[in-house]
Amino acid sequence: MSLPSLPRRGALGALAALAGGLAFAQGSAPRTVRIGYQKSSTLIAVLRLQGTLEQRLAPLGVSLSWHEFTSGLPLLEALNLDNLDFSADVADTVPVFAQAAGARLSFVAQEAPSPTAQAILVRSDSPLKTVAELKGKRVGFAKAAGAHYLLIAALEKAGLSFADITPAYLTPADGRAAFERGAIDAWVVWDPFLSAAQVQANARVLADGTGLASYTRYYLASTRFAQARPDVLNVIYAELEKTGRWVKAQPKEAAALLAPFWGLDPAIVERANARRSYAVRAATPQNIAEQQKIADAFFAEKLLPRRVDALDIGLFQPQG
């Protein structure tokens, strides 16, 4: 099932590239697990660059194919359409939209909250000083991203509703361009785009997620794949956990590795990584409690087609 009435353009090229790929469930050799990721998928990027997952999964007869997406929503759409087997981390809002479209997905892991790793930005010369002053303004962000929920929560705290602003649904790249040329009054975005805008465009933070949005990121698999190959997911989970600890313990080395892959200065990457927890843990009913609050907020703003039970999703339990 496709995600109705949601932006699809960013996914079309990637889905076309995937169409001829070998799905793991097809049983052909070599068996290929299709992994989707986005630019903010730090731990998956490290594992890809180091070749760790290929080495760990080779004894299971598994190879990998990698597929980049512009943001989390088209990534989960591809997962829902069975064009991917595993999704690297997406913001907590994204699964809610997928659930509203009837997707059958399973949480494999989550990162502990990183509320300062996303923020509402204005240009350095902007007269805007508070979120309340966004009333009537044009605000850019990626639809269904964590930034979308941050904006809703910040507006509510300021006594405004989503209807009080003019939304501009933009990919991070398009958002940066619109922000710099003044086509939008504010831009809501996450790291590493956030850090890049602060350093390169001298952007000013109007509000981050502190006290507003936890910004928990989730790793997901199709329920079909989670049920068929828990052994593969156990390996991925273990390597994500280990890599998260390495990135935090070796910030300069991690930044040097990621900088050319992301096309950013190492100092920007290190700044972005400092704001992410990278503490990988199992997704449990207790750990995903905020998902219902997020779902209810989007439904209240008439941005979801139906009410969502945030706990109605598979929860993979890693085995040590």
126-182, pLDDT tens digit by residue?
999 999 999 999 999 999 899 999 999 999 999 999 999 999 999 999 999 999 999
Secondary structure of residue 199 in the 3-state scheme? helix
pLDDT at 78: 94
What pLDDT, on the 0 to 100 scale, is given for residue 8? 35
pLDDT band for position 320 (cuts 50, 70, 90): low
Could you give the C-alpha distances from 295 to 93, 168, 173, in angstroms and in order?
8, 21, 26
9-113+216-315 and 115-208 have identical folds: yes
Tokens of 291: 């998902």
Helix (H) or strand (E) holding 314: strand 314-315
Mean pLDDT of the chain: 90
Residue type at position 118: Q
Domain spanning 9-113+216-315, CATH class: alpha beta
Instruction: Give me the pLDDT at residue 289, please.
Output: 87
Closest CA to 120 of 210, 57, 7: 210
Residue 175 one-letter amino acid? G
Domain ranges of the chain: 9-113+216-315, 115-208
Degrees to nearest 5, angle at CA 138 with 199 and 217: 55
* pLDDT-derived band at 114, boundaries 50, 70, 90: very high
User: What topology is assigned to 115-208 in CATH?
Assistant: D-Maltodextrin-Binding Protein; domain 2 (3.40.190)
Read off the pLDDT of residues 232-242 as tens digits, 9 standing for 90 and up.
999 999 999 99
